[in-house]
Amino acid sequence: MQQIFVANPKGGCGKTMLSIHLAAYYAQRGLTVALCGHDPQQSSLDWTKARPSSMPNITGIRFYQHEILSNRFDIAIHDLPAAFGAEQLASILKEHRLLIPVLPSPTDIKACVRFLMALNRSGLVESNAQHIGLVANRVNIRTNYFKVLLAFLNQVNLPLVGYLRDTQNYVRSASVGLSIFDLPQRSVSQDLNQWQTILEWLEENEVPSPFMQQISDLLHV
Ligand SMILES: Nc1ncnc2c1ncn2[C@@H]1O[C@H](COP(=O)(O)OP(=O)(O)OP(=O)(O)O)[C@@H](O)[C@H]1O
Ligand SMILES: [Mg+2]
């Protein structure tokens, strides 16, 4: 069973949004999906409860027990709580992918620096760098903060695997148990395009080179 973990100690950076979207993407592709909400707020599980029965099913799980569930699912997405520490990621990172959403704001960048430093100190980055991907979330590419975030990510030895714009498409769809992957393509085509590099990285392990070129161009404008 494939597993994807989404973590960042900073609250509100988009862990639940990324998790529910990954769950919906794989469910739309016909996989049996577990969405594991480790967060005390249980936001992911509220979302699975609100999901219309006409949509591909996603099983919300509160207390994930690998031995019991691994035969039932093709993939498990883990929405980790803000309190989840770097040291707890050690065993996970050897085998599985970790996505770290980060917002382009000074406080979020600082919090992300601290989290990445803790990952670094624990030796996790060095041995598992290919399993860790950063996603810039709620981005407006014209703002200085996004450029500051790009410059920071350029310094750390981890790939930016995608960026997602700030749009009510995420808020509105989530409020009724949906994701942009469940909506008519034409209404969310810009957002679906932005997800492509993230999904490719999860499948291929490499950030597509046109995307890296685009990021490098943005850094030098
Ligand atoms: N790209 C986006 N555009 C617009 N709104 C977004 C975007 N990403 C997330 N949001 C909204 O921002 C809020 C916080 O996102 P989310 O709940 O996913 O963060 P979180 O990291 O899970 O927070 P917590 O640490 O509290 O669990 C939510 O209302 C979500 O709908
Ligand atoms: Mg959350």
Locate the domains of the chain by residue range. Answer: 2-220
**pLDDT tens track for 184-211:** 999 999 999 999 999 999 998 677 777 7
Q: Using the mean position of ligand 1's atoms as its centre, give its distance from the Cα of residue 17 in Å.
A: 6
User: Which single residue is written with the structure tokens 């009510």?
Assistant: 168
Beta strands in 44-173 (DSSP E): 58-61, 75-79, 97-102, 132-139, 160-165
Q: What tokens were used for 152?
A: 């920071």
Torsion sign, CA atoms 202, 45, 25, 195: negative
Residue 197 to residue 85: CA distance in whole angstroms: 27
Going from the Cα of 71 to the center of ligand 1, the distance in angstroms, rounded, reads: 31
> Domain 2-220 has what CATH class?
alpha beta
Write the CA distances from 91 to 5, 124, 165, 205, integer angstroms: 12, 9, 32, 19
- pLDDT reported for residue 68: 65
With bands split at pLDDT 50, 70 and 90, how would you rate the model's confidence at 71? Answer: confident
Give the amino acid at 217. D
* Nearest residue by C-alpha to atom 8 in ligand 1: 14
CA of 168, closest atom in ligand 1: 4
Q: Could you tell me which residue, 12 or 84, shows the higher pLDDT?
A: 12
Which amino acid is located at 98 in the chain?
A: L
Return the closest-CA partner of residue 29 out of 184, 186, 181.
181
